[in-house]
A and B are shown apart, each in its own frame.
Chain A
Amino acid sequence: MSASAKLPRWAERGLLPLINLAAALILSGVVVKILGESPWAALKLLVSGALGTQEGIGYTLYYATNFIFTGLGVAVAYHAGLFNIGCEGQAYVGGLGSGLVALWLGDRAPLLVVLPVAIMAGAAFGAAWALIPAWLQARRGSHIVITTIMFNFIAASLMTYLLVNVLIKPGQQSPESREFGANAFLPAAHELFAKIGITFSPSPWNLAFAIALLAAALVWVLVWRTRWGYALRVAGQNQSAAVYAGISPSRIIIQAMLLSGALAGCLGLNELLGSQHRILIDFPSGAGFVGIAVALMGRNHPVGILVAAVLFGALAQGGSQLAFDLPKINRDMVVVIQGLVILFCGALENVFRTPLAKLWPGRLARSPQPSGGMPVPR
Chain B
Amino acid sequence: MVEKSVAPALELRAIDKRFGTVHANRSLSFAVAPGSIHGLIGENGAGKSTLMNIVYGFHRADSGEIYVHGRRVDLGSPQDAIRAGIGMVHQHFMLVENFTVLENVVLGVEGGALLAGGLARARRELEKLACDYALAVPLDTVVSELPVGLQQRVEILKALYRGAQILILDEPTAVLTPQEADALFNMLRRLRDEGKSVILVTHKLREIMAITDRVTVMRQGVIVGEVVTATTSPRELAEKMVGRAVLLRVEKKLAQPGATLLAVRDLEVRDRLGVARVKGVSFDLRAGEIVGVAGVSGNGQSELLEALAGIRLPTRGSITLQHHDLVREHLGPRERRALGLAHVPEDRLRMGVVTNFSAEDNAILGYHDRAECTRGGWLDRAAIRKACEGKMAAHDVRPPLPSLRIAAFSGGNQQKLVLAREIDVDPRVLLVGQPTRGVDIGAIEFIHKKLVALRDAGKALLIVSVELDEILGLADRILVMNAGEIVGELLRADATEEKMGLLMAGVKSEGPA
CB within 8 Å of B: which residues of A? 1, 225-231, 233-234, 237-238, 240-241, 243-246, 361-375, 377
Whether the pair B379, A225 counts as a contact (CB closer than 8 A) is yes
B22-63 residues with Cβ-Cβ distance < 8 A to A are 22, 24, 44-45, 49-50, 53, 58-59
Whether the pair B408, A245 counts as a contact (CB closer than 8 A) is no
Report if A370-B353 is in contact (Cβ < 8 Å); known contacts: A226-B379, A244-B309, A375-B59: no
Write out the residue numbers on chain A whose beta carbons fall within 8 Å of the beta carbon of B442.
Answer: none
Whether the pair A241, B365 counts as a contact (CB closer than 8 A) is yes
Report if A244-B45 is in contact (Cβ < 8 Å); known contacts: A225-B378, A369-B19, A374-B90: no
Q: Does B361 contact A (CB under 8 A)?
A: yes
Report if A227-B377 is in contact (Cβ < 8 Å); known contacts: A244-B309, A365-B22, A375-B58: yes
Write out the residue numbers on chain A whose beta carbons fall within 8 Å of the beta carbon of B21.
Answer: 361-362, 364-365
Interface segment out of the listed B249-257, B277-285, B330-338: B330-338
Q: From residue A114, how far is it (CB to closest CB) to chain B in Å? A: 30
Write out the residue numbers on chain A whose beta carbons fall within 8 Å of the beta carbon of B18.
Answer: 361
Partner of B377, one of A228, A244, A361, A372: A228
Whether the pair B438, A372 counts as a contact (CB closer than 8 A) is yes
Whether the pair A370, B49 counts as a contact (CB closer than 8 A) is yes
Whether the pair A241, B352 counts as a contact (CB closer than 8 A) is yes
Write out the residue numbers on chain A whose beta carbons fall within 8 Å of the beta carbon of B112.
Answer: none
Whether the pair A377, B408 counts as a contact (CB closer than 8 A) is no
Whether the pair B374, A227 counts as a contact (CB closer than 8 A) is yes
Partner of A241, one of B351, B404, B410: B351
Whether the pair A368, B311 counts as a contact (CB closer than 8 A) is no
Whether the pair A245, B368 counts as a contact (CB closer than 8 A) is yes
A362-B23 Cα distance, complex, nearest whole Å: 11
A292-B357 Cα distance, complex, nearest whole Å: 24
Main DSSP-derived SS at the A contact region: helix
Q: From residue B364, how far is it (CB to closest CB) to chain A in Å? A: 8
Whether the pair A367, B20 counts as a contact (CB closer than 8 A) is yes
Whether the pair B49, A372 counts as a contact (CB closer than 8 A) is yes
Q: Does B483 contact A (CB under 8 A)?
A: no
Q: Tell me the nearest residue of chain B to A1, going by C-beta.
A: B19
27 residue pairs of the A-B complex, CB under 8 angstroms, read A225-B378, A225-B379, A226-B377, A227-B368, A227-B379, A234-B354, A234-B357, A234-B368, A238-B350, A243-B351, A244-B309, A244-B311, A244-B351, A246-B366, A362-B20, A363-B20, A364-B19, A364-B22, A365-B20, A365-B22, A367-B20, A367-B407, A368-B407, A369-B22, A370-B50, A373-B49, A374-B91
Whether the pair A377, B78 counts as a contact (CB closer than 8 A) is yes
Write out the residue numbers on chain A whose beta carbons fall within 8 Å of the beta carbon of B365.
Answer: 234, 241, 244-245
Partner of A246, one of B332, B373, B374: B332
Whether the pair B357, A237 counts as a contact (CB closer than 8 A) is yes
Q: Tell me the nearest residue of chain B to A363, going by C-beta.
A: B20
Whether the pair A369, B368 counts as a contact (CB closer than 8 A) is no
B259-313 residues with Cβ-Cβ distance < 8 A to A are 309-311
Whether the pair A372, B19 counts as a contact (CB closer than 8 A) is no
Whether the pair A227, B351 counts as a contact (CB closer than 8 A) is no
Q: From residue B93, how far is it (CB to closest CB) to chain A in Å? A: 11
A331-B184 Cα distance, complex, nearest whole Å: 69
Write out the residue numbers on chain A whose beta carbons fall within 8 Å of the beta carbon of B350.
Answer: 238, 240-241
Whether the pair A246, B337 counts as a contact (CB closer than 8 A) is yes
Q: Does B345 contact A (CB under 8 A)?
A: yes
8 nearest A-B residue pairs (beta carbon)? A364-B20, A246-B334, A246-B333, A245-B366, A365-B21, A368-B407, A240-B351, A365-B20
Report if A238-B22 is in contact (Cβ < 8 Å); known contacts: A244-B366, A246-B332, A377-B78: no
A367-B18 Cα distance, complex, nearest whole Å: 13
Q: Does B343 contact A (CB under 8 A)?
A: yes
A-B contacts besides A244-B343, A361-B18, 14 pairs, CB < 8 Å: A225-B379, A240-B347, A241-B351, A241-B352, A241-B353, A244-B311, A245-B366, A246-B337, A365-B20, A365-B22, A370-B49, A370-B53, A371-B44, A372-B91
A124-B175 Cα distance, complex, nearest whole Å: 53
Q: Tell me the nearest residue of chain A to B368, going by C-beta.
A: A230
B406-421 residues with Cβ-Cβ distance < 8 A to A are 407-408, 410-411
Q: Does B320 contact A (CB under 8 A)?
A: no
Whether the pair A375, B53 counts as a contact (CB closer than 8 A) is yes
A237-B354 Cα distance, complex, nearest whole Å: 7
Write out the residue numbers on chain A whose beta carbons fall within 8 Å of the beta carbon of B53.
Answer: 370, 374-375
Whether the pair B355, A377 counts as a contact (CB closer than 8 A) is no
Report if A230-B351 is in contact (Cβ < 8 Å); known contacts: A245-B368, A369-B22: no
Write out the residue numbers on chain B whose beta carbons fall within 8 Å of the beta carbon of A373.
Answer: 49, 92
- Interface centre among B19, B90, B335, B407, by most chain A C-beta atoms within 10 angstroms, is B19
Q: Does B445 contact A (CB under 8 A)?
A: no
Q: From residue B54, how far is it (CB to closest CB) to chain A in Å? A: 11
